[in-house]
Amino acid sequence: MLYLDTIRRQDAGPRTRLQLVGSFLDYKNSKFVHYFTPRRELCVDESTIKFKGRVSFITYNPKKLTEWRILVYTMAVSSTGYLCGILSYYGSLTTDSLIKRDLPVTTRIPLHLYSMLLEKLPGAQGHHMFTYRYYTSYKLAEEILKLKYHLKGTILTNKQDGCHMLEQLE
């Protein structure tokens, strides 16, 4: 509650729900990165935060355990599960703010999360990023190689660039 009072004092004008929730998640993200230096193995995945308030970016899925939720993309340490980076899903607002607009969104999300980590640890190399089939692609592997870290994940052969990746591996 102290954090929300601080936000209100900084800006006396009315704030939208998006700004309030976004500010809170940005604050939490800065603390995740500030107080913890991750190990070599990182995992990129999606997580949910149970929420029934009124915000435009809430998602509803009656088949899930958490029906009403806020979707966040996370980067966590594989061995402990500690979050070292989060990126909130705000619909098209999220995709517009990501780096490298010429790449697919599924490539830009892991790159954005890793770039947030590199801001804290400039010059870090040799991390291993684990992804599942939604994120893993040939383009992501190329971009990760440029940053001098490694990608491990499941690929689908029916993905647009999956066959090209398999040809190069053989």
Asked whether residue 164 carries a pLDDT value surpassing 80, the answer given is no
Asked whether residue 162 carries a pLDDT value surpassing 70, the answer given is no
Q: What is the DSSP string of 48-66?
A: EEE--S--TT-EE-TTSSS
pLDDT at 2: 45
Domain limits at 97? Answer: 2-131
139, part of any domain: no
Question: What is the residue-averaged pLDDT of the chain?
Answer: 77
- CB count, 10 Å around CB of 48? 16
Q: Tokens 């591996």 — which residue?
A: 169
122, part of any domain: yes
- Residue 85 CA to residue 153 CA, distance in Å, equals 19
73, part of any domain: yes
Domain count along the chain: 1
15, part of any domain: yes
141, part of any domain: no
- Residue 32 CA to residue 141 CA, distance in Å, equals 26
pTM for this model (two decimals): 0.73
The distance of Cα 33 from the centroid of its chain, to the nearest Å, equals 13
Model confidence band, residue 7 (pLDDT cutoffs 50, 70, 90): very low
161, part of any domain: no
CA geometry: angle at 44 spanning 41 and 95, to 5°? Answer: 145
157, part of any domain: no
Contacts of 40 (CB under 8 A, 6+ apart): 126, 127, 128
Q: Which long-range contacts (CB under 8 A, 24 or more apart) does 18-25 make?
A: 18/55, 18/56, 18/57, 18/90, 18/93, 21/55, 21/70, 21/88, 22/88, 22/90, 25/72, 25/86, 25/88
Question: What pLDDT digit, counting tens, does each position of 97-138 carry?
Answer: 788 888 888 888 888 888 888 887 777 777 888 998 888 888
30, part of any domain: yes
Model confidence band, residue 26 (pLDDT cutoffs 50, 70, 90): confident
Asked whether residue 96 carries a pLDDT value surpassing 80, the answer given is no
